[in-house]
Structure 1
Amino acid sequence: MRLTKGLHGYAVLRLGSGLEIRLHNLLTAIAMALLVVIGGVVLLTMGSTDSTFSDLVDLLRGSAMSEDLSFAIADVRMPRILMGFMAGWCVALTGAMLQSLAQNPLADPGLLGLSQGSLVAIMLVLVLFPGLPLIYTPLAGFVGGLAVAVLLMVLVGRHHSGGLGILLMGIAVETTLSSVTSVLILYAPPEQSHAIASWLAGSLFHSDWPAVGGFSVWFFFSIPAVLVVGRKLRSLDLGDHMALALGEPVHVTKPIILIIAVLLSAAATAAVGPLVFLGVMAPHLAGFISPAKGRARLLLSAMMGGVLVVAADGLTRLGPDQVALPTGLAIMMIGAPLFIISLRIRTMRQARS
């Protein structure tokens, strides 16, 4: 491993295998990882049950402490933080994949209707089969998301896969499915309707260790997916014709990447509900901080998604205990202003240049 300069003049770490890692991307990833760790430690001391950092140290040491405090830190806050980071990671990673796949910077599981397809399928299972084990909800979400993906490919057509066409068709499908969601909420029993409405806002309130264990399978699946898909997307970012010229089987690669995106999106939706606009914001914010391509772009986008959800979880705990602020709304309150500022700064830079 040695530090050198790449073809574009950037400082890079060149490994013995020939792999180059841009130094700025590496430092950005390390900074975001530290931010998540520090934020997680702070969040472990925040909540309706008073606790301090020394209480956290005592818990890690196994020292005696009250059952309420131990339950609040170990069984409520820890799984909630882990679930928030993993869900944000998967949603942002899906957004970055779809933006490259559709060649459109606005592509997102929500705007393309994938999340809405998963939502409708999960809601149908919850309303029509309330006694069905919860283990089937991710499967229902995957089936619904995959059905929307197949529908988009059929409606848009194989030879008309431009980014704008896919986006417009996705918005139309998403709007149609949203009306189905509204009907289900309107005519569902009051208890189910209230629970579904809370879940639709995006929520980490029901995160526990079994849920974290189940979702961690998808999180660890996404890590090798970053390594494999990132290399493919680097060719697809150049356009279909150039990717074909480089030897990339586009008509095989694109459906595989789409299925991976549907899997991750459906799993995150089933776990915490829809995290609206996160798939659009996180890749753009990561690109604003440290522009990257391929695997580095996917990794930084995923890290940014995890950072935003952890920060949003902290925001939900600042209000009164009686006011349960949805995580999805908190993400918008934090991410949207940052997104607007980054776009404004980028526009000013382009105008000056």
Structure 2
Amino acid sequence: MMSRTLDGRLSIRFFNGKELILRNLVTGLFLIISIFILFLISLNLGTIDTGLHDFWRLVRGEEIEQQSYFALWDVRLPRLALAFLIGWCVAVSGAILQPIARNPLADPGLFGISHGSLTTTILLLAFVPAASRVLIAFASLAGGLGTAILLIVLVGNRHAGGLVILLMGIAVATVLASVNSFLILYLPTEASYNASSWMAGSLFQANWLSVTAFIPLFLFSLVAMLMAGHSLNRYDLGSELALALGEPVIVSRPLLLLFAVLLSAASVTIVGPLAFLGILAPQLAQFLTGANGSGRLYLSGLVGANLVIGADIISKNATTISMPLGLTTTILGVPLFIVVLRLRTLRQYFHK
């Protein structure tokens, strides 16, 4: 049935006591429609003249030209699916870390998680150039997890506030970034070039194997995000208040960090780091709806998917050569971030 929250927003209340904010639902539907529109646009763009018409014939099981089949099934569709999954995972990772640190600028890069994944991956590519994708994935995950464990050990005290966690993450990230720069500078030329290209971020090697590997993680995140919502709401109040409200900080904080690491490291493995996405997507979701908890996680994931698919469209078609996805995401994201900050300032000014 329809009701209102304490701050006056319309919501749908279920019999089990759960409620769904109507504004969050409408925004989520709008973001899904936006993804669908971007999907149709991207499907029709490319050097081979094929698109929605051939896709519809493919869905119906009809024969299409071999060239069109290759462009749609082997290139464009897995690239779009992977763009959605990568955008979702990186954005959700940032949305988890920001309440823990109580800082809107917290993301996998600022905590050193992305840098840890990069370090182990660069080392593997340097010493085992022919490493398989599975081995690279394990190396990336090990680096991210190792960084998270190191961060948990260094923070130590369960009463440590978000500022302590953030500053410790910045220190770890700075050291790892220096290590990565040293490796790229002194590696052999070919290995250094491959590492630099990978660090720029790209969906060039997207295929159905990568998408299939990501789907279980995506499904797991849907359930885990629903369970993590209440904990993140308490972390928004600070570690001490979260403890006072019964949050088992010593257990939940490492679990949330590991969840964020899993999402971030998997993304880094496939496309490399996407700078700024983990900051921007949660901030856009927060600006659009003011949602918190699980709602903010789901909306952040949808915003992240929109941004990566949109950035991929630009990277493929803005210039004669394909731009790195990480660069395009930053070029697209920074102006949006500035606009959001400006609109938020104006909103606060007029509400006074």
TM range (shorter): over 0.9
Are 1:45 and 1:56, in contact at CA under 8 Å, matched by a contact in 2?
no
Which range is displaced more, 34-43 or 128-137? 128-137
Give CA deviations for 1:297-349 in whole Å, capped at 9, x if unaligned. 1111111111100110111122344x120111111111111110010111122
Q: Could you say what secondary structure the match of 1:317 adopts?
A: helix
Q: Note the C-alpha offset of 1:9.
A: 1.2
Q: Which residue number corresponds to residue 351 of structure 1?
A: 349
Give CA deviations for 1:219-244 in whole Å, capped at 9, x if unaligned. 11211110111121112222222222
Q: Note the C-alpha offset of 1:160.
A: 6.5
CA separation in 1, counterparts of 2:263 and 2:207?
19
Q: Which residue number corresponds to residue 98 of structure 1?
A: 97
Q: Report the count of equivalent residues.
A: 351
CA separation in 2, counterparts of 1:184 and 1:154?
26
Q: Which residue number corresponds to residue 229 of structure 1?
A: 228
Are 1:215 and 1:271, in contact at CA under 8 Å, matched by a contact in 2?
no
Are 2:158 and 2:250, in contact at CA under 8 Å, matched by a contact in 1?
no
CA separation in 2, counterparts of 1:259 and 1:204?
25
Give CA deviations for 1:77-99 in whole Å, capped at 9, x if unaligned. 11111111111111110101000
CA separation in 1, counterparts of 2:245 and 2:34?
38
CA separation in 2, counterparts of 1:171 and 1:246?
29
TM-score between both structures, scaled by the size of structure 1: 0.95
Are 2:129 and 2:191, in contact at CA under 8 Å, matched by a contact in 1?
no
Q: Which residue number corresponds to residue 340 of structure 1?
A: 338
Give the share of equivalent positions with the same residue, in percent. 46
Q: Give the counterpart letter for 1:220 in structure 2.
A: L
Q: Which residue number corresponds to residue 16 of structure 2?
A: 17
Does 1:328 find its partner at 2:326? yes
Give CA deviations for 1:102-129 in whole Å, capped at 9, x if unaligned. 1111111001111000110111112112
Query: Structure 1: 5+ residue runs without aligned partners?
Result: none
CA separation in 1, counterparts of 2:222 and 2:344?
30
Q: Give the counterpart letter for 1:325 in structure 2.
A: M
Q: Note the C-alpha offset of 1:101.
A: 1.0
Structure 1 segments, 4+ long, off by >6 Å, are none
Q: Could you say what secondary structure the match of 1:141 adopts?
A: helix
Q: Note the C-alpha offset of 1:148.
A: 1.5
CA separation in 2, counterparts of 1:328 and 1:42?
20
Does 1:269 find its partner at 2:268? yes
Q: Note the C-alpha offset of 1:136.
A: 2.0
Are 2:113 and 2:144, in contact at CA under 8 Å, matched by a contact in 1?
yes
Q: Could you say what secondary structure the match of 1:7 adopts?
A: coil
Equivalences for residues 192-271 of structure 1 within 5 A: 192-271=191-270
Are 2:243 and 2:249, in contact at CA under 8 Å, matched by a contact in 1?
yes
Q: Could you say what secondary structure the match of 1:31 adopts?
A: helix
CA separation in 1, counterparts of 2:207 and 2:104?
34
